[in-house]
Structure 1
Amino acid sequence: MVYFSSASENTARFVAGCRLQDEGINVYRIPLRAAAPALNVREPYVIMVPTYGGGVVKKAVPIQVKRFLNDPANREWIRGVIASGNTNFGEAYCAAGDIIAAKCKVPYLYRYELMGTPEDTAAVRNGLVRFFTEQ
């Protein structure tokens, strides 16, 4: 699992709640700050991202995620995407996931609102365990 979380830490809290490491799934965080060392992932992963842009679809994918995926070596290993969003964004709800899935030609596995619910956390955890077992 590779994820990006803004300073709000909402995605980080969601990922922590999934307890993926307990299932033997490696978890990597895309750095928030451009000055931080770049993340290089060389194993199959699912990316989890929040949707940015306040409803403007073309601003939905965080720049840090774009930078990570613009590295061909990182992009080679992506296997799926999970996105969060806000239903107040209307058509742009979880649009970051739509954009990444289309550009990287991977399945859009799950979407959830804001910080998610306990049901979302369980669904993502169970779904990722199945997904990586089948890979």
Structure 2
Amino acid sequence: MHSDVIKISDKDIKKPKGKVFVVYFSSISNNTHRFMDKLDVSDARIPYELNQELIVDKEYVLITPTYAGGGGDTKGAVPAQVIKFLNNENNRHLCRGVIASGNTNFGDTFAIAGPIISKKLNVPLLYQFELLGTQNDVESIRKILEDFWGEK
């Protein structure tokens, strides 16, 4: 995990209520979309087109890819579509945690969108995975989400 990950005490974490719900963004490569198909949880996709909008009405965990080129450069790491989605106060308020994907080839900026969003929203960074994720990532994230929501 990146050094910018904030530590949030258990008492400060806002646990979501209701059923597991994920909001995610996937670029035209559809890597995150394919991962979500394997995860098989209730979800909503942030539109790729910036002129389209998604408004949510329930608590969620955000899953986002990272756009950054390594070498410590974090400019543009969080996709513009995710920024637009989170600029909506209601959407931002309902976010309870973040999961990020990335490419380990980019070294210190691997999945850096997660720590950036975690710090900005003061929500926990729940997990980071590479590219399409492995079956182990799918199982780990499913368990993390179930535990986070208190489902068994």
Separation of aligned partners in 1, 2:61 and 2:51? 24
Answering whether residue 68 of structure 2 is matched by residue 47 of structure 1, we say no
Answering whether residue 43 of structure 2 is matched by residue 27 of structure 1, we say yes
1:51-79 C-alpha deviation (Å, 9 max, x unpaired): 00222312100000000001111000000
* Partner SS, residue 58 of structure 1: coil
Picking from 71, 74, 91, the partner of 2:91 is 74
The percent of aligned pairs where both chains have the same amino acid is 49
CA RMSD of aligned residues (A): 1.0
| Amino acid aligned to 1:35 | N
Q: Which runs of 4+ in 1 moved over 6 A?
A: none
TM-score (norm 2): 0.81
TM-score (norm 1): 0.91
Separation of aligned partners in 2, 1:64 and 1:3? 10
* Partner SS, residue 123 of structure 2: coil
Q: Which runs of 5+ in 2 are unaligned?
A: 1-21
Q: How many residues of Structure 1 are paired with residues of Structure 2 in the alignment?
A: 128
| Amino acid aligned to 1:71 | N
| Amino acid aligned to 2:137 | D
Q: Which has the higher helix share?
A: 1
Deviation at 1:34, TM superposition (A): 1.5
Partner of 2:135 in structure 1? 118
* Partner SS, residue 90 of structure 2: helix
Partner of 2:125 in structure 1? 108
Deviation at 1:119, TM superposition (A): 0.2
Separation of aligned partners in 2, 1:114 and 1:33? 22
Partner of 2:36 in structure 1? 15
Q: Which runs of 5+ in 1 are unaligned?
A: 21-25
Answering whether residue 77 of structure 2 is matched by residue 60 of structure 1, we say yes
